[in-house]
Each structure stands twice: as C-alpha cells, then as structure tokens.
Amino acid sequence: MKVLCFGEVLWDHIEKEYHLGGAPLNFAAHSAQFGSESHIISAVGKDELGKKTLEEVGKVRVRTDLISGVDRPTGVVEVTMNRGIPSYEIVEGTAWDNIALTAEGRRIIADTEWDLFYMGSLAQRSEANAALLHDGILPLIRARIVFFDVNLRQHYYSREVLERSLARTTVLKLNDEELPVVSELLYGEALDPEALFQRMKTLYRGLELLILTKGPDGADIVTGEGLSSFPIESDVTVVDTVGAGDSYSGSFCYAYFHTGNIPRSARFAQDVADRVVSQPGALPDYGEAILAESRRIAEGR
C-alpha cells in the first residue's frame, strides 16, 4: 500500500518529554508499521531539532524525501493533559506552515500511483500551504482513497477549508466534538452523523464513508446504506489519548483498502487504538498480535 500524507511534522511536548507527532505524520507512521510505503509532504527547520526530526521520522519508517528544510523553527506543540485528555497550544509561523516542493518532489508525486492520500485542516491554516495543497498537489494525485481528517485545532479552520477539502474527499473522519462544529459551519444546524453524511453526499459525490470516533464510546461508520455503530468491547487502562484518533484512522484505512469490509476494519482499528491509549505518546510499538492480524488482512485471510 502506497500512502502519501500532507501536513504538519512537529514535536508534542507532554509533561517534560518530547514526542514526535503531528496528525499526518502519525497517520503515515501507523501505516508504515503495517508495511505500507509511507511518504509525507512537510517541512522542518534548518535547526538541530529539524535534523533530529528527519532522523526520527526515518526511524518510524516514513520516507523523508518530500520533507523540505526551510528558514523557520521546527514545530513544537505544548500539550497539557487533563485526566488523559490532551489540549494543545500550537505555535504559529513554524516550518510546517511553510511547506515547499521541489520540481523533483512534484515529479515523484505525479508519477506515483498512490493508494491513499491524506490531508487535514490544520496544515491549511497558512494561505501558502492551502494553495500548495489545492493548486499544486491535489491536481497531481491519483489515489483510490482520499482521506480528510478534519482534526479541528483552536481557531485554525474555516468553512472554505472544509468545502475545498471535501470536494476531493472519499473518506471523511470526525470525532464527536467536531461533529456539531462542522455541521453548524456547513449547514447552520446541528445534524446527526447520518444526516450530515447525506447532506454532504448530495454535493460531494465522491464521498464514500464517514468515520465518527467517539472516545470511550467507540466509533460510528456511515455509508450510503446507513450508520453502523462499533462500541468498545475491551477494558484498557488509558495512559493518554494523544494520537489515538490517528491510529484509528490509519489502521481502519489499511484494513478497508485491503478488504473493503467495514466491520472488520472497525474492529481492527479499535484494537490498534486500544494499544495506543494504553501507552504514552502517539507512536508506540504495536506488539506481535496486532502485526499478525495486519498480515492476515493484507493476505486476505
């Protein structure tokens, strides 16, 4: 599976420790743990933290050939935990707000048949990034799945960002806190997930499904055939939830790409998310049981 992600690469500063992160990188890294060929389009600073970032991104098996070095500081996010739930202070003007692409980078993107392209809303907070994504990258992309993780942070989103991104989306992901915000922003009223999907589908005809994650209540998956709920069936001790949504997204898409089976994809995604929330940081090791299941999925067993 060939995965290409666009957006932020940064460091989450959590309780005096630094963890490599950013939702697009987390998604790419989770995909890579399953053996996917994962690339990310991003930027780091020409500083020591930037050098460390490239080294660490390589360690999680994500390709770095589309990460540019720019004259801005490498991104850091201050994460405050409250009973395992994170809140974020996101510094502006960092490297990932100024993503650049070389001619060679554009050639790589255009010449590769990607299985999945990932984009979020946060990296579109700068006009330069939004223009690069919509005018410079998406026209080059040929991908079976175009995944849009709304991933609302602070005030860094708008109706325009949502509408432009939805126009190319096949799989949309929201969490239960984002659902009413997106619904009000787009349609001026609070809609349930099934009604929201149907309203979107009338305009964005490429949309195949909506993933709604609900924390301890599991997830709902909405398609043209209706809504299916997948409650959490395990009992795990939550250490922190940083990156849990990204792990769910990455593992669901991996299983959905290989099988097209929504119930199996949702169960697998929940198993991975349970593993992630039971350990600190966004990118813990999966363990052999999950990796064995990922191999069975890829092999059609």
**Residue showing tokens 């195949």:** 208
Which structure tokens are listed for 293? 């299941």
- Taking CA atoms, 288 is separated from 29, 33, 291, in Å, by 17, 11, 5
**Three-class SS state of 11:** strand
pTM over 0.85: yes
**In the chain, where the domains are located:** 2-298
CATH of domain 2-298: 3.40.1190.20
Q: How far apart, in whole angstroms, are the C-alpha atoms of residue 269 and residue 27?
A: 12
> CA angle, 72 as apex, 68 and 74 as ends, to 5°?
75
| Structure confidence at residue 281 (pLDDT) | 67
Phi, psi of 206 (to 5 degrees): -80, -10
**Of 48, 62, 82, residue with least CA distance to 9:** 62
| Structure confidence at residue 54 (pLDDT) | 97
CA torsion sign for 185, 187, 192, 196 is negative
Which structure tokens are listed for 271? 């198993």
| Structure confidence at residue 278 (pLDDT) | 81
- Taking CA atoms, 42 is separated from 25, 62, 83, 243, in Å, by 9, 12, 31, 18
* Ordered per-residue pLDDT tens for the chain, 301 residues: 999 999 999 988 877 788 888 999 999 999 999 999 999 999 999 999 999 999 999 999 999 999 999 999 999 888 887 776 777 788 888 999 999 999 999 999 999 999 999 999 999 999 999 999 999 999 999 899 999 999 888 888 999 999 999 999 999 999 999 999 999 999 999 999 999 999 999 999 999 999 999 988 999 999 999 999 999 887 888 877 777 889 999 999 999 999 999 999 999 999 999 888 888 766 778 888 899 999 999 998 8
Which residues face 117 on adjacent strands?
4, 146
| Structure confidence at residue 84 (pLDDT) | 67
**Three-class SS state of 55:** helix
Pairing of strands 114-120, 143-149: parallel
